[in-house]
Amino acid sequence: MAEMDTSSSGGGKKHQGTKSKKLSTRVDMTPMVDLGFLLITFFMLTTTMSKPKTMDLVMPKDTEKEEEQNKVKESTALTILLGKKNQVYYYEGLAQDPNASQDPNFFNATSFANTGGIRDIIIKKRDEVAQLRNFKGEPEDVVVIIKADDGATYQNFVDLLDEMAINRIQRYATVDISDQDKQWIKSTEASNGIQ
d(CA 4, CA 6): 6
Is the pLDDT reported for residue 59 higher than 70?
no
Residue 192: what pLDDT?
66
Question: How confident is the model at residue 186, as a pLDDT?
Answer: 83
pLDDT tens digits along 73-84: 767 788 888 888
DSSP 79: E
* Cα–Cα separations (whole angstroms), residue 63 to 67, 70, 71, 72: 9, 10, 13, 16
pLDDT at 151: 84
Identify the pLDDT of residue 35.
93
- pLDDT one-digit tens code per residue, 134-186: 666 666 678 888 888 888 888 888 888 888 888 888 888 888 888 888 888 88
Predicted pLDDT of residue 36: 93
Q: What is the pLDDT of residues 88-143, one digit of tens each?
A: 888 887 766 656 656 667 788 888 887 888 888 888 888 888 887 766 666 667 88
Alpha helices in the chain (DSSP H): 30-46, 118-136, 154-166, 179-192
The residues that bridge with 18 in the sheet, in sequence order, are none
Would strands 24-26 and 3-5 be described as parallel, antiparallel, or unpaired?
antiparallel
| Cα atoms found within 13 Å of the Cα of residue 156, Cβ hemisphere only | 23
What's the half-sphere exposure (Cβ side, CA atoms, 13 Å) at 117?
13
pLDDT of residue 90: 87
Closest CA relative to residue 79, chosen from 68, 67, 88, 66 = 88
pLDDT of residue 71: 61
pLDDT(191) > 80: no
The predicted pLDDT at position 167 comes to 85
CATH class as words, domain 73-187: alpha beta
Provide the pLDDT confidence category of residue 39 given band limits of 50, 70 and 90.
very high
Strand partners, 108: 90
Q: Give the global pTM.
A: 0.60
Res 9 pLDDT > 70: no
